[in-house]
Structure 1
């Protein structure tokens, strides 16, 4: 996968893209990152990328020309015809694991990280393919938000994680929150690992994990559960475990 990032602050990505899993992914050849200062595409001698909004109002608006030209240059360089062009914006679609899984199937992603008051609306209408928000709040720019999406996508690429099954069993990947995990020692300060996990009975362990996942989701994110699809046994388990 090729991931391009359009930003006014390319130095913000130095540590993130060159650390941990994101660096390992690039070293393995699973992904190639490109960070571009789109100020370089401004068609004026002062490299100005923003201007006052028509109609007046507070703040400055990012102009269309530098971003259109930058995207066209990156697309031509990468020889891709249909990249996903992602605008990081608090007005966008709320990021979910399903969205990350969808984006992980693409060959080329281009992230647009804005600053100032907003974007020229023509960027939304005629340039980008996706608008994504990482939550109902506003940051100073799109850089931190794009790092979240890039991290979430990259770890899903083949051979990036040491055990690809880890990604498949993440919270939200199955539609529910992940079950509890334990490691050695089995007895830590009197706090015991559940006996079932020490039994060696894999079928029973998987069933326990599923029920624990169901319980945790019910307690923390009941909106994720389709109660009508649960068996009578599972519904009864939730009632018994919650005391309701």
Structure 2
């Protein structure tokens, strides 16, 4: 009995390793980048519905929003991709490139896009690339999987969660959002945080809860009253650490 067990292990293990080599050809769990705000967004070269791209070259000197989907032809994802496509002119105004990701191939993506154009964009052409991440390599590099799936990524079916990454022109991660597979994203919120991040970079301010463009902003506590007066003009002090101003 013992000899049979040993024989099985010798036969099976190489097959598993070969499978892992094919699926995760340049990914090792222990080498996974830590994706934090301020991290450099991991680069990758991958096939998309717009052809092969180098991700950092695709971003160029723009901002980018990268967001993932569990699979093609799924109902929530269909609504999301269509909504992002309809909002693309707004992202364009802000110098933001959109790019989606799903775990099927390019042919499947292209067929799915036809459905999206039919039921969500009302005939308008779909506006940005979808990454074909059939090996799940990009999903793993960006930690787009659940805890359980990450532990078991060498076996079984793994679906990506609904992750969102806002990336600036320096290729730094500026915002991350992660949703469970059952919950659709809020496209208006993603557009709002892009506005907030870009305004913060440009004017050196912070934005309060539920802030939208045109509303008062917060002067950071690191700015003295004298410097705030010189930089922003009038401002309202609610607490010494909480001061509001209207940008002109």
Into which bin does the TM-score normalised by the smaller protein fall? under 0.3
**TM-score, normalising length from structure 1?**
0.25
**TM-score, normalising length from structure 2?**
0.24
